[in-house]
């Protein structure tokens, strides 16, 4: 009898211990299923986004996908800006072996670093959209909505401009490069503003905004270079 009474006396305690253990196990299961932190800061049902979300400076944030809705203005922007950027890269490459001014050399490198990835991005958009790439021989004047100017179309250099730049060296090259690139950048800014006003695709409009900000800053820098080299 004494053993029976002893067990009966202990039974409520054992039940309580079992209940506590079951509760702890249930809570542990919930924590592992919803990814809560040990301090309980994450709440069930809250979606804080993926842990590997792109930072503002990550490559994925710098290379928009172009997915989503688009219109003719978006397509035109990409088809026109690709050859425009390609000519800027051609001009920037001429600085190697010709430029004398350290600031001009640095600017040429910056232009190449920024615009080469943008060309790849825009080509990706056109592929995603099922639209043709501009042909290697196409000029900006062959494209709808573009108008010829005294120094090329939308800031594009004429053959004569490019020949003069190729034949220049030292201080003469530095000054010509800055003067011609100012006009080139101004054309890109105009095209980018057209995209922001008329485009639909958010990624294309974002890149257009980046072009406006970066190239306006470089225009200001090149104006100072021209003034300094007078």
CA 207/CA 104 separation, integer angstroms: 25
- pLDDT for residue 153: 65
Torsion, CA 200, CA 135, CA 98, CA 96, rounded to 10: 70
CA 225/CA 230 separation, integer angstroms: 9
Q: Does the pLDDT of residue 160 top 80, yes or no?
A: yes
Lowest mean pLDDT among 62-66, 78-82, 104-108, 176-180: 62-66
Q: Average pLDDT, stretch 11-25? A: 43
CA 101/CA 112 separation, integer angstroms: 17
Q: Average pLDDT, stretch 20-28? A: 42
> Residues 6 or more apart from 103 whose CB is under 8 A from it?
221, 225
Q: Average pLDDT, stretch 201-208? A: 97
Q: Does the pLDDT of residue 118 top 60, yes or no?
A: yes
- pLDDT for residue 41: 38
Which of the listed ranges 43-52, 56-65, 82-91, 127-136 does the model predict with the highest average pLDDT?
82-91
Q: Does the pLDDT of residue 142 top 90, yes or no?
A: no
Which of the listed ranges 4-8, 100-104, 132-136 does the model predict with the highest average pLDDT?
100-104
Cβ(195)–Cβ(209) below 8 Å:
no
Q: Average pLDDT, stretch 221-227? A: 98
Q: Does the pLDDT of residue 55 top 60, yes or no?
A: no
Q: What is the mean pLDDT of the chain?
A: 77
- pLDDT for residue 67: 80
The residue ranking higher by pLDDT, 149 or 3, is 3
Q: Does the pLDDT of residue 223 top 70, yes or no?
A: yes
pLDDT in tens, 64-97: 577 889 999 999 999 999 999 999 999 999 999 9
- pLDDT for residue 136: 65
CATH fold, domain 68-228, is Ferritin (1.20.1260)
Domain boundaries, the chain: 1-34, 68-228
- pLDDT for residue 48: 37
Q: Phi and psi dihedrals of 5, rounded to 5? A: -60, -40
Q: Does the pLDDT of residue 145 top 90, yes or no?
A: no
Q: Average pLDDT, stretch 86-115? A: 98
């Amino acid at each position: 009898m004494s053993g029976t009474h002893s067990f009966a006396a202990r039974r409520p305690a054992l039940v309580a211990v079992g209940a506590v253990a079951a509760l702890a196990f249930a809570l542990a299961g919930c924590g592992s299923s919803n990814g809560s932190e040990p301090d309980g800061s994450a709440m069930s049902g809250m979606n804080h986004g993926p842990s590997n979300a792109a930072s503002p400076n990550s490559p994925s944030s710098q290379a928009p996908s172009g997915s989503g809705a688009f219109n003719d203005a978006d397509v035109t922007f990409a088809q026109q800006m690709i050859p425009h950027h390609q000519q800027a890269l051609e001009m920037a490459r001429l600085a190697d072996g010709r430029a004398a001014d350290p600031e001009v050399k640095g600017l040429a490198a910056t232009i190449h670093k920024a615009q080469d990835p943008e060309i790849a991005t825009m080509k990706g958009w056109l592929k995603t959209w099922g639209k043709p790439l501009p042909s290697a021989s196409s000029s900006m004047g062959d494209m709808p909505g573009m108008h010829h100017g005294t120094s090329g179309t939308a800031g594009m250099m004429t053959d004569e401009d490019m020949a003069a730049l190729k034949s220049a060296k030292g201080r003469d090259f530095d000054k010509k490069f800055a003067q011609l690139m100012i006009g080139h950048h101004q054309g890109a800014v105009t095209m980018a503003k057209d995209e922001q006003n008329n485009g639909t695709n958010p990624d294309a409009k974002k890149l257009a905004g980046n072009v406006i900000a970066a190239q306006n800053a470089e225009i200001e820098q090149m104006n100072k270079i021209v003034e300094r080299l007078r």
